[in-house]
Amino acid sequence: MPLASRIQGIIPPLATPFGPDGELDLDAFRAQVRAALACGVHGLTVASTTGEGMRLSDDEAVRVAEATVREVGGRVPVIAGVMRNTTRDAVHLGMALREVGVDGLQPTPPSSNGDIAQAFHEVIARQVGLPMVVFNVLSRRQITPQQLGRLAEIPEVVAVKQSGGDLHRLADLLLLNEGRLRVISALDDLLYPSFLLGADAAVAPILPAVPDLAVQLWDACRRGDHDAARELHRRILIVARVVYNADVLPAIKAAIELRGLRMGPPRHPSLPPPPAVRAALADALERAGLTTIA
């Protein structure tokens, strides 16, 4: 089945566990994959920003992707981040990821300049040949809906992930996209309205900490149970607000760990959250009624 038709629902960007020595903890990673699958997620993203993909070597990113593909066994699509600053390096990693069987790539464009973003994705499409999700990323000036229209002409481009915390941009994208690409929301505190507007899926940093609530939110929206959806939104927001008032990636890892999965520290130079943040996360998880994942 083509990837485009499989991009729907909750697709958590998994965190990457490390041991005390800073090396990959693949056993802990596999446990996270199994827990997410038990929650009913509709896909998985690996080696992305939330997975500290910018700090993984090519070998590490490939090992993480391979472990995921094997654990998933074709049940849901696996999308791999490609966080490299040159087209050459992105192609090199993309080809290695293709060999281990990922279903698609999410390259992080080195620039939001329309011509550069176009050329970047065209070269990856031509040389790697896997379906791609365009990452309209917060840390760079946003690619406009008009520029995305050009990118949508590349056959391998099947979806766009809208970041930036701006529901207006998501609304404009949904309006101008006209069904050409699958639209993925990365708006952690706005997942509920994203789904109401018509987003096809979510790949948001908070998801690996609350995959169970997120799947329940998606299901509630699909069946039109808005009372349940609003309550699930509230519970997710309790956790998201604490995460985003801290150093986000270490806080997400700490929240996952507080829910019973081994994560270890973030990769240096990031530092583990201070005790006050861990305490706030523990309190938020309790107020959100969350215990262990799966």
Residue 291 placed within a domain: no
* Rounded Cα gap, residues 4 and 45, in angstroms: 15
Q: Is the pLDDT of residue 142 over 90?
A: no
Q: Is the pLDDT of residue 291 over 90?
A: yes
Residue 100 placed within a domain: yes
* Rounded Cα gap, residues 204 and 215, in angstroms: 13
Q: Is residue 43 very low, low, confident or very high in pLDDT (cuts 50, 70, 90)?
A: very high
Domain that includes residue 158, residue range: 3-208
Q: Is residue 163 very low, low, confident or very high in pLDDT (cuts 50, 70, 90)?
A: confident
Residue 199 placed within a domain: yes
3-state secondary structure of 157: strand
Residue 85 placed within a domain: yes
Tokens 């969350």 appear where? 290
Mean pLDDT of 69-81: 98
Q: Is residue 148 very low, low, confident or very high in pLDDT (cuts 50, 70, 90)?
A: confident
- Is residue 264 within 8 Å of residue 18, measured between CB atoms? yes
- Is residue 11 within 8 Å of residue 250, measured between CB atoms? no
DSSP 78: E
By 3-state DSSP, what share of the chain in percent is helix, strand and coil, each rounded to 5? 50, 10, 35
Q: Is the pLDDT of residue 90 over 60?
A: yes
Q: Is residue 8 very low, low, confident or very high in pLDDT (cuts 50, 70, 90)?
A: very high
Residue 171: per-residue pLDDT = 86
Question: What pLDDT digit, counting tens, does each position of 212-226 carry?
Answer: 999 999 999 999 999
- Is residue 37 within 8 Å of residue 3, measured between CB atoms? no
Residue 259: per-residue pLDDT = 98
Tokens 């917060």 appear where? 138
Mean pLDDT of 172-201: 90
Residue 213 placed within a domain: no
* Rounded Cα gap, residues 161 and 188, in angstroms: 12
Residue 98 placed within a domain: yes
Cα 279 versus chain centre, distance: 25
Domain count, the chain: 1
Residue 142 placed within a domain: yes
Instruction: Name the residue type at position 157.
Output: V
Q: What is the CATH number of the domain that holds 88?
A: 3.20.20.70
3-state secondary structure of 289: coil
Residue 131 placed within a domain: yes
